[in-house]
Each structure stands twice: as structure tokens, then as C-alpha cells.
Structure 1
């Protein structure tokens, strides 16, 4: 079974904010019952106090249900719960009027007046605050708060409340409901902002992947465009020569065959990533893309002096790892380090997004494609590194950190060149 810790760590940042917001407002219902419901039962007695507590519990339950549906509406999962909002308003008014009637016409005693007055004020405050969570704009929120406060003052007169008491009740409801309404509006704004930021981050990640695909497309176009044009021209020339019975047609077709074979070799180079890539450029690009996506990225070490084939292999490791940090997990920090030690170059990519990712693609794991493919994923990276006798290790470090380590041996001449 998944424990509470794994359940929480398995959520994304927007889901965590939504869960915190949802249960914070649900806790308000518990506060309502604990503050006035239990106190009413204790001060008035089990008979009338029990009925007051039952009314408070019903009101708190309707508030909790309204909050849940309103947050689903805020997150775009359901329509605005208009009927439930009106139901909560009616229940709030009924409970408040009942409490005020008990204070005026119920048993005499300071305890009864205090308990009924507490129920009257608290249900209006929490009712207005809960309704504000499901209202679309601020003007309507102001109208809800002002309406509940005015209603608290106006209802008090027909039931015999003095004017100062009615005014104090209206001001209390205005301040209390205004505070809860402000909390609701701010919570909704924060929740929407977090979801929009997460969506923007995903968009940047998709753009980074799309840019990589465009770069691959440009490379493939550069390789195939010119060669196909030459093949088409020489084939047309060979056809014309063959129709005229000229022996040069054979030479042209031999040239077409040579160009076609050369094109096949160059396409394989592009697809398998054997074309040289600059490690320094990839390190700078990784830092820029991750920083733009809101991930703190630290790059240490330099690629200067490394052999071209080593730089090309490690550059693809950086490119693949960066793509997967963006696409998988929920990383907030990524560290990329290059160092030369004991006759080998070591590239380390470490991020803290393993906790929020699935086991199959945590952090910088090979999640962009299946590992069985020859062009991407961990298997593809190992193939590239194997060409320079390198190795690749990928594993979790603790519960939240994923580390990818690529090592490539260097010759003595290479080590001396790097040292210089």
C-alpha cells in the first residue's frame, strides 16, 4: 500500500496546491462545528442545544459540499454549481433566522442568548465565505458579502433586537465574511496561477522537444535535399543519353548509384547521431532551456580540449537528459557537471524530480522513447557511448533525486591536451 508520504510526493505541484486549498476550506466546516455547535450544545443543554448543533452540522456539511464543487468548477472539471450556491444561501438564511428566533423567543438565560447569537453570526460568515468561492467575479463577491451583512442587520429588527446590537451584528458579519471571501478569492487566484504556470512549463518543454525535432529535420533536409536533386538531374540526363544510344548513360547511372549509397550513409549518420555535436553548445543550451522552464540549472566544468568524438557522444547525453528532465518528473533543480579524472571524462546529470515521476521515466531517465530503439532513450545513449568505449549509469539517489553518469576513457595524449 502507498503511505501518506508517497501519496503526497506522487502529486504534482499544482495538485498539491489544490489539495491543500481544498482541505483548508473543508477544515473551516470543522471549525464551524467545533466553535459554535459544541458550545451551543454545552451551554443550552442537550435538548435545544442538540437541535442548534444539528443545524450547524447541516450547514457545515452543505458548506463543505459547496466548496468541493466550487473548486472543481475553478479547475474546469464541472459547471458552476449555481443550484448548490442558492441552496447554501437558503440554508444559511434559515439557520440564522432560527438561531435569532431562539435568542428572542426561546428560554431565558445568558447562555441561550450567547449560543444562539454565536450560531447566527458564524453561519452567516462561513456561508458568505463558501459562496464567494463559487462566484465568478469580484463585484459579485462584494455583493454577497454586503448582502449577508445587510441581511444580518435587517433581520434583527423584526425580531426585537435593539439598533446598536443589529449594527454590531451587521459589522461583525461584514468583517468576518469579508475576510473569508478575501481568502477564497486569493486561494482561487493562486490555484489558477499555479495551474497556468504548470501549463506554461509544459508548453516550453514541448517547444524544446519540437525545436529538437526541427533541428533533426533541418539536418536531414541538408543531407537529402541536395543529393536527391542531383540524383534527379543525373537520372534525367541518363534517360536522354540512353534514348540517343550514347554510352555515357552508363556512367551517369553509376554516378547516381554512388550518390544514392552516399545518401544512405549520411542518413544513417543523422539518425544514429554520429554527426559531430559540440558539448559546450549543448551545455549552454541545456542551462538556457531549463532556466526558461523554471528549473534552477547549474553547469560546472568545461568541454574544451576533449576529442571531437567524445564531445559528440556526451553532447547527445546532455541533450537527451535535458529533454527528459523537461518532459518527466517535477524537477526544481538540475546540476550538470563535466570533469576529467584518472584518465577519463565523467559527465553527471542530477535532478530532484524523481519523486514526482513514474518509475519508467523518472527525472532524466530514458522516457522520450522506448529503450529498445536505436536512436533515443538509455539504449540509444549507451550505443553512442559504446562507440567511444564509454559507459552509462542511471539510478535514483534517495527518494527524490535521479542521477545519470556517463564515463568515457581518454588516451594519454587526450589527457595531456585537456590539461594544456
Structure 2
């Protein structure tokens, strides 16, 4: 019973881990498992079933068949171990060590010799021989096709085929069976080329597109930081230069005993206070951006990450027609929920809906791709996340609800009363602290 529970627990853990992965990660795993499975499926069909005919051909034939099967299984294991490294080589992540080809090449040579020996002893012939020839280069070819250019793969496969057909002809295999063997080698070469390489190429393109989306999202964040930096420079640059010049002038006047130094320092004090207020205005404007600004920013960041965005009701009384304080509160909801959409699940579409009741504004943010992964929750200890947002809106009479909404969807619903006052910025989501603010 205990062992059964352990197995069930491992299955559940595997299932949870699988659903916690993105769609692209699932496709990646599926593609690799498929390549590995093809080797085993064909090894146990093309490479095993024909050997059953050797059971009544004497001990020599049975020994050769058993050796062929054992080496073929070993070759399949080595092939599976090399698939991941060959894929990394194809993507350019890391080079494939040439020494890892020595063992597969040696195993391929042994299976070729055993196949020729089986044909020489008449243990296999006709269709059975053609099937064994089909399976012969498969385990070696699947990783190898990812390591060399197509032209080199075709030329080397043709050279290998000539060697195999030549050896079979040398041991007396009839012309019809030689032709069938040549066709089998051609078929398996093309099968590997048109299945393994295009699937890995498509997977590589999808990973590159995913990396480009992440780069666009990071660039959007960097652009916003640069904008804030430019605003701060524009506000402080001129005033700090004036303060520096007037301070130097006040020092010189004071050294000469000129009472005008006091007037200069009074002017420095005035400019410093004006600069302090301007910095506060910039930071306050950054923290209290209105709802349309937050909606535009959320749309830009999500679309940069490859997520389609649909906004409804923003142009009506629930959006630009809402009081400024309500817009400020809903703006923080938009910013937090957009962050959660990027962090959790694997969404392809996000819907933002605004509606107005008799005494409140209702904002709904819904996304697909939620799967069975853990829902977004609070960031403990920081006051951010949905829990921190609920506390912040609760202080002004609002509320936040979140949870699944249908299959594979997650929805956050925020309600803010029309008479709400603008909330302070959540501690986990604020802009850089105001260094000029008096303590």
C-alpha cells in the first residue's frame, strides 16, 4: 500500500511539473522524446521481428541474431544519450564532442558485420533482410543528421550504402535482394533527414522567437527607466548647475567679507527647495499615473512578450470618465495584474474589461494559459502581489477577487468605489524613493 502511494505521488508530481511548464517547453520535451522513441520502436520492429526466422536455422544463426539484437539495443541507448548533445550543437549552444561519435560508429560497424554474417549463413533473406537493412543505420543517423550539413549527410549515407550493398554482394546475396537493400538504405536516409532535422529546426526557430519576445519585454522596461532618468535629469540638471555656481560665488564673497554672500545663499536655498518640489512632482507623477497611461503601458509590455491584449470600456465612463482618484487606484490594479500575467502561466491572450455600476468601477483582468500551475499570490514580506493590492484597495473601500474562470483561464476582479481617495503606491511597486523628501 505504501509503495502504491509512493507511485501515485510521483505520478502527481510529474503531472504537476508537466503542467507547470510553458507550451514551448512541452513541445521541446515532446520532440526529443519522439526522436528517442522512434529509435526504439523501429529497433523492436524492423530490427527484431525479422530475427524470429532464425530460431529454426541452427545455433550459429541464433547466436548471430542474438548478438545483432544486443548490439542494436546498445546502439539505441547510446543514440538516445547523444540526442540532447546533438540538439545543443544544432542550436549553437555548445559543440558536440567528436569523441562521442567513436562508440556509435564502432557499434554501427559491428551491426553491419553481423548483418552480413546473417546474410552469408542464409539466416535471413528476402523481406527479412530488407527490414534489417532499414533498421541498420537508424540509431546512428538520428543524432548524426543534426551534426553535419545536409550535403555531407547525404554523401556519407550514400558511401555507407555502397559499402553495405558491396559486402552483401560479396557474400552471395541475389541481385533482387541487393536492390531491395539499396532501396531500404535510401528510404531510411530520407526518413531521418525529413523527420529529425525539420522538427529540430522548427523547435530552434520557436526558441529564438521566444527569446526575442523576452528581449522586447526587457527593452520596454529599460525604455521606461530611461524615460524616468531623462525626466529627473531635465528637472535637476539646470538647477544643480545654478546651485553650484551660486555656492561658489557665495564662498568668494564670504571670504572677502562681502554681505552679499548671504543673499546668494538665500537664493541657493530657494532654488534647492524649488528643485525638491519639482523632484517630488516627477516622482508623484510616475507613481500616480492615470488609468489610460497604465493601460497603454500594460498593453505595450504584454504585446512585447507575445501576448495579445483586448481592452474594453476604457474610453467610456468607467475609464477616462472615472474620477482621477479612482483612475489612480485602478491604475495600480492594472500594473500589478499585468505583472502577474507575465510571471504566471503561459498566456497567449489577456482581456481587460472596465464597467461602471451605480456607485463603483469594476475592473476585470483575465488571461488564458493558466493551466494547473500555482495561481499568482502575494509576495510575502513585501506588501506587493494580490494580497497587498487587496489591503491597499480595502483601505479605500474597494475589494479584489481572484481565481480560475473556466478551463485554463484566470481572472482578477477589482472593485473601487466612486468616492474613493487616491491610494498610496504599494510598497513593492513604487518608483525609486524620493531622496529629497524630508524625514
Aligning the two structures, in what range does the TM-score lie when normalised by the shorter sequence? 0.7 to 0.9
Counterparts of 1:399 and 1:256 in 2: how far apart (Å)?
Answer: 63
Which deviates more, 209-218 or 258-267? Answer: 258-267
8 Å Cα contact 2:16/2:372 also seen in 1:
no
Q: Which residue of 1 aligns with 2:22?
A: 12
- SS of residue in 2 equivalent to 1:347: strand
TM-score by length of 1: 0.80
Partner of 1:131: 144
2:326 counterpart residue number: 310
The 5-angstrom pairing of residues 349-388 of structure 1 reads 349-352=365-368, 354-355=370-371, 372=382
What SS is found at the alignment partner of 1:28?
helix
| Cα shift at 1:77 | 5.8
Of 98, 105, 111, the residue aligned with 1:89 is 105
Structure 1 residues 33 and 154, CA gap change in structure 2 (3 angstroms):
same
SS at match of 1:3: helix
What is the RMSD of the two structures over their aligned residues, measured on CA atoms? 3.5
Q: Tell me whether 156-165 or 402-411 shows the greater mean CA deviation.
A: 402-411
The structure-2 alpha-carbon separation of the partners of 1:114 and 1:318, relative to structure 1 and needing over 3 Å to count, comes to: same
Going from structure 1 to structure 2, the CA distance change for 1:275 and 1:203 (only over 3 Å counts) comes to: closer
Q: Indicate which of 406, 409, 414 corresponds to 2:417.
A: 409
Matched, 1:70 2:78: no
1:80 to 66, 71, 96: 96
Moved over 6 A (4+): none
Query: Are the aligned partners of 2:402 and 2:413 in contact in 1 as well (CA < 8 Å)?
Result: yes
> Using the alignment, how far apart are the partners of 1:274 and 1:183 within structure 2?
53
Gaps of 5+ in 1: 413-420
**Partner Cα separation in structure 1 for residue 279 and residue 378 of structure 2:** 23
Structural mapping, 1:269-308, within 5 Å: 269-271=281-283, 276-302=288-314, 303-308=319-324
Which residue matches 2:435? none
| In structure 1, C-alpha distance between the alignment counterparts of 2:90 and 2:410, rounded to whole Å | 34
Q: 1:222 to 1:398 in 2, by over 3 A?
A: farther
How many equivalent residue pairs?
A: 400
**Alpha carbons of structure 1 residues 182 and 209: separation in structure 2 relative to 1, 3 Å:** same
Q: How far apart in 2 are the matches of 1:27 and 1:116? A: 23
Indicate the larger mover: 184-193 or 66-75: 66-75
**Counterpart secondary structure, 1:334:** strand
Cα 1:226–1:391 change in 2 (3 A) is farther
Q: 1:35 & 1:275 partners in 2: Cα distance? A: 66
Using the alignment, how far apart are the partners of 1:249 and 1:380 within structure 2? 51
Task: Between the two structures, name the one with larger relative contact order (CA 8 Å, sep ≥ 6).
Answer: 2
Q: Quote the offset at 1:282 in angstroms.
A: 3.1
Aligned-pair distance for 1:383?
Answer: 8.3
Aligned mates of 1:218, 1:263 — CA distance in 2: 15
- Are 1:121 and 2:134 matched, yes or no? yes
